[in-house]
Amino acid sequence: MEHFDYDIIVVGAGHAGCEAAAAAAGMGASTLLISMNLQTIGQMSCNPAMGGVAKGQIVREIDALGGLSGLVSDYSALQFRMLNRSKGPAMWSPRTQNDRTMFAARWRYLLEQILGLDFRQDTVKALLLEGDKVKGVVTGLGQTIKARKVILTTGTFLNGLIHVGNQQMSGGRAGESASLGITEQLRSVGLASGRMKTGTPPRVDGRSLDYSAMEEQKGDEKPGKFSYRPQSRPLEQQMSCWITYTDPVVHEILKEGFEQSPMFTGRIQGIGPRYCPSIEDKINRFAERDRHQLFVEPEGWNTVEVYVNGFSTSLPEDVQLKALRRVKGFEKARVFRPGYAIEYDFFFPTQLKSSLESKAIEGLYLAGQINGTTGYEEAAGQGLIAGMNARRAIREEDPIILRRSEAYIGVLIDDLVSKGTDEPYRMFTSRAEYRIMLRQDNADLRLSEIGYSLGLLPEECFEDVQKKIKEMEAMSKFLGSQSIHPEEFNPFFAPLGQAAIPQKTRMDQLLLRPGVHLDNLAEVSPALKIFMEGISLESAEGAEVLIKYASYLEREQKWAESMADLEQIRMRPDFEYRLVSGLSMEAAEKLDQHKPENLGQASRISGINPADLSVLMVYLNRKS
């Protein structure tokens, strides 16, 4: 029998690597986490925040599946805000501002508590390949370490190149070396790679800023938390963020540096993020706008360092400082670290299965920015799934494939492997066609059973979910059986702009009215108020959402069920699409290139139309 040093090796200890290692080891695999620098495990390379629109839903999903990002975020939070409260529940998105140092320290602490997880400070210069199978890694110090599975989570380190004005330096992050050799090796065995670019803004000395000239942005009055687990607690004390703006003078100063900008001189070849452009890109692309918003974000409880969100740049340092000092509140700003851009290699994710395993190299999994994504949350979600599936593959168990109707993580991975990306991919609520089903408040209801069955979610957490389900059912039953009389409803609700009711009306029917909520009804119904005291606020709010959006949820559920039928029609990897009579040449080429795993995945490939799907279905039915 072949000897292996480990079941699984995880290369890279960013957000994807941490979740991958925690999942693999947590499921019983002997796991090695290799990092160039063990002091930077779980480091927030860019902004010191977690969550936000759609990203917050991903963090909640990770927590429900048994991942650790939610716990780490809550532990290190400086501020909590639920974004988009003025919109419907499908748009509500939790976000924390975090202490950068505490975040990384907590990740390392939690990882070190997991039995079966080892650590090594080293680089990986090559994969150990035998034919089309991975067998381990070769390190920079010359060690060959054998493993059944390898998960690459290299972030921005593959042939990383840092740009500040005319200056270029090799590196995967400021002060850290790039990773060399892996890209060239994978290309040599047929994997296709591309080049992407991301950037980061200057960090400044908070003592040099005039906050009185900025708008204060406080956290929620009653802060929530990411994790559903009892050991996580909402914040009792919060730090404020601040908002200020650029102006036409700032823009003119920035333009002075365009001739030295690596973006405009062609030195940067990689494609940057469409939805998080650099400040020079903003003023170039949106020339009609005379100002852009900047978020001034604290980096921690015990540091004066401040992150200038919205001012990502690779312009020369002197231009950065000159422009910053024209921003209100920044007139005397002192820069700790200049902003910079970084280029790095990624691999086109259509070369992966939905499990995140390479189609070409058995046992090799890719997760995070190496797949063309941007953002901590997207990386962490991929890492968690890769870690789970690498472990399940060793056990010869089917992979965990989250459907688009089950999770934002499912949408993310399906988008990557079905459609691919040629620019940094960022998750939005608009990418999810089932976003009313995929709310941040019900991630535990959707996914905790999976996390519990894998041994990653503690039993007490799963029991809490079962309790929540029962409370929501009891709440719905109560609201459907209790009525409010006109003399109770009309005097209270008329000043709120609600039309009067002519007769007693069930509470669940009243909740269908826009602007009517449970807490309003509890004001006029002592029975409801007493009932709500016996259940959790989360359960009450969950029941209210289900009642208010019942018709929308039913519609999404029917659509999800119809699409599930297509997902059941499997496609062989060696299927010869050119032999299907009636299939367009473009469709045959696209299908042959992407090799979809099922008909549902085929339907989401760019260029595949309904007529092509009909032809495929007829052909498959005839063959079967």
Contacts of 136 (CB under 8 A, 6+ apart): 4, 5, 9, 127, 128, 144, 145, 146, 147, 150
Q: pLDDT band for position 33 (50/70/90)?
A: very high
What's the pTM value of the predicted model, to 2 decimals?
Answer: 0.93
d(CA 396, CA 607): 35
Do the beta carbons of residue 82 and residue 67 sit within 8 Å? no
Residue 579 pLDDT: 82
Check pLDDT > 90 for residue 215: yes
Yes or no: say if 417 and 604 are a contact pair by the CB < 8 Å rule: no
431-479 pLDDT per residue, tens: 998 999 999 999 999 999 999 999 999 999 999 999 999 999 999 999 9
At residue 169, φ and ψ (nearest 5 deg) are -150, 145
Q: Which of 197-211, 263-277, 600-614 has the highest mean pLDDT?
A: 197-211
Across residues 501-515, what is the average pLDDT? 92
The answer on pLDDT for 408 being more than 70 is yes
Which residues, including other chains, have CB under 8 Å from residue 418's CB and lie 6 or more apart?
A: 350, 594, 596, 601, 604, 605
Comparing 114-128, 183-197, 428-442, 564-578, which segment has the lowest mean pLDDT? 564-578
Q: What are phi and psi of 87, to 5 degrees?
A: -105, -175
Are 47 and 310 a contacting pair, CB within 8 Å? no
585 sits in which H/E element? helix 585-594
Alpha helices in 257-309 (DSSP H): 262-265, 279-285
**Residue 344 pairs with which residues in a beta bridge?**
196
560 versus 19: the higher-pLDDT residue is 19
pLDDT digits over 121-164, tens only? 999 999 999 999 999 999 999 999 999 999 999 999 999 999 88
Using alpha carbons only, how large is the chain's radius of gyration in Å? Answer: 26
Residue 624 pLDDT > 70, yes or no? no
Q: Give start and end residues of each alpha helix (H) in 38-83.
A: 55-64, 69-75
Q: Residue 300: is its pLDDT beyond 90?
A: yes
pLDDT recorded at residue 561: 86
316 touches 257 (CB < 8 A): yes
Whether 567 and 403 have beta carbons less than 8 Å apart is answered as yes
* Spatial separation of the C-alpha atoms in residues 370 and 124, rounded to whole Å: 15
d(CA 341, CA 343): 7
pLDDT above 90: percentage of residues in the chain: 73
CB atoms < 10 A from the CB of 504, how many?
A: 13
pLDDT at 1 over 80: no
User: What average pLDDT does the chain have?
Assistant: 92
pLDDT score for 389: 98
374, pLDDT greater than 80: yes
pLDDT at 364 over 90: yes
Residue 263 identity (one-letter amino acid): M
435: nearest Cα among 8, 24, 25, 53: 53
Tell me the residue type at 259: E
Judge whether residue 275 has pLDDT over 70.
no
CB 137 within 8 A of CB 193: no
Cα dihedral: 267, 272, 278, 282 (round 10): 110
Q: Is the dihedral of CA 432, 550, 472, 488 positive or negative?
A: positive
Top-confidence residue, 57 or 1? 57
Q: What's the pLDDT at 439?
A: 95
Q: How far is residue 339's CA from residue 327's CA, in Å, rounded to a whole number?
A: 16
The answer to whether the CB of 446 falls within 8 A of the CB of 438 is: yes
Residue 267 has pLDDT above 70, yes or no: no
